[in-house]
């Protein structure tokens, strides 16, 4: 009987062990906050870019433990920097908790493929992409090549250096009063025509045009100077 008792007990312990081992531990307060921080910064930053931002929570255990289980998070201030130290506000009802975080980022930016003189109009062959950490890059780095091509440099740029927003002067691609080619695109059709520009516009700007019958339309300026009008039914 004693042998049977021990054997039965051993079987029960063996069968029940995986049951207890399979129960996952509840996430800690810091883990819950990190999930919410990741969601807060996991939003498109620049259209057409591959920038990914990763927040690192710098708050002390005491600061974290004071926050409720399901806070509403917002970023304090209007700081537009991609990386660096920021303050996140965790709102729990009427109470606010201020949490320090450090933002890291990776992505693809554009650099000069060769040395470019000041005053030059940037061509596609003048720039090339470079990917990696954005943490130590200067402010104003450009992620969309369309914002560079066709613009005039305000200063000389060395090969391999990133092009910055304050180094470019906007160039008008089309001028008010100029005859322009129109391309109207819709569901299953593409119509070409002509019209008159009613304002100055750079590449990717919206331009108002007047058609031959006097109708006023708005379209987007392409690199080749054509105006694309998207017709929605």
The model's pLDDT over 211-226, given as tens digits with 9 standing for 90+, comes to: 989 999 999 998 788 9
Neighbours of 168 (CB within 10 A): 20
178-229 is a CATH 3.40.50.920 domain: no
Run of H or E including 17: helix 2-21
The boundaries of every CATH 2.30.30.760 domain in the chain are 178-229
What would the two tokens of residue 158 be? 């060395």
pLDDT in tens, 157-212: 999 999 999 999 877 888 899 999 999 888 888 889 999 999 998 878 899 999 98
The 3-state secondary structure of 207-218 reads EEEEECCCCEEE
Alpha-carbon distance 64 to 37, whole Å? 13
DSSP count for the chain of H helices, then E strands:
3, 12
What would the two tokens of residue 29 be? 């307060």
CA 129 to chain centre: 16
Token pair 């054997």 is found at: 7
Q: What pTM was estimated for this model as a whole? A: 0.63
| pLDDT of 46 | 65
pLDDT in tens, 22-70: 556 667 889 999 999 999 998 776 656 789 999 999 999 999 999 999 9
| pLDDT of 65 | 93
Between CA 225 and CA 233, with CA 231 as vertex, the angle to 5 degrees is: 175
Q: Considering only the top CATH level, what class is 109-170?
A: alpha beta
Token pair 């800690």 is found at: 28
* Percent above pLDDT 70 for the chain: 86
Q: Where is pLDDT greater, at 159 or 78? A: 159
- Of 175, 153, 171, the residue nearest 163 (C-alpha): 153
Indicate the pLDDT class of residue 82, thresholds 50, 70 and 90: confident
Between CA 29 and CA 30, with CA 43 as vertex, the angle to 5 degrees is: 10
Return all residues near 199 (Cβ < 8 A) that are at least 6 apart.
Answer: 176, 207, 208
Alpha-carbon distance 224 to 144, whole Å? 17
The boundaries of every CATH 3.90.1210.10 domain in the chain are 109-170
């Amino acid at each position: 009987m004693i042998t049977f008792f021990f054997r039965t007990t051993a079987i029960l312990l063996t069968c029940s062990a995986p049951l207890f081992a399979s129960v996952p531990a509840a996430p800690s307060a810091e883990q819950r906050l990190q999930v919410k921080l990741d969601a807060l910064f996991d939003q498109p930053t620049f259209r057409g870019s591959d920038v990914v931002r990763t927040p690192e929570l710098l708050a002390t255990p005491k600061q974290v433990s004071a926050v409720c289980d399901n806070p509403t998070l917002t970023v304090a201030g209007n700081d537009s920097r991609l990386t660096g130290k920021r303050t996140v506000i965790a709102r729990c009802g009427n109470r606010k908790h201020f949490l320090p975080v450090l933002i890291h980022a990776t992505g693809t930016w554009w650099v000069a493929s060769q040395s470019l003189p000041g005053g030059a109009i940037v061509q596609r062959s003048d720039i090339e992409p470079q990917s990696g950490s954005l943490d130590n890059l200067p402010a104003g780095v450009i992620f969309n090549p369309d914002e560079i091509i066709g613009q005039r440099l305000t200063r000389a740029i060395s090969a391999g250096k990133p092009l910055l927003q304050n180094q470019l002067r906007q160039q008008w691609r089309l001028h008010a009063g100029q005859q322009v080619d129109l391309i109207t695109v819709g569901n299953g059709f593409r119509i070409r025509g002509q019209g008159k520009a009613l304002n100055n516009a750079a590449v990717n700007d919206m331009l108002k045009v007047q058609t031959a019958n006097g109708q006023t339309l708005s379209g987007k300026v392409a690199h080749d100077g054509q105006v694309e009008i998207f017709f929605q039914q």
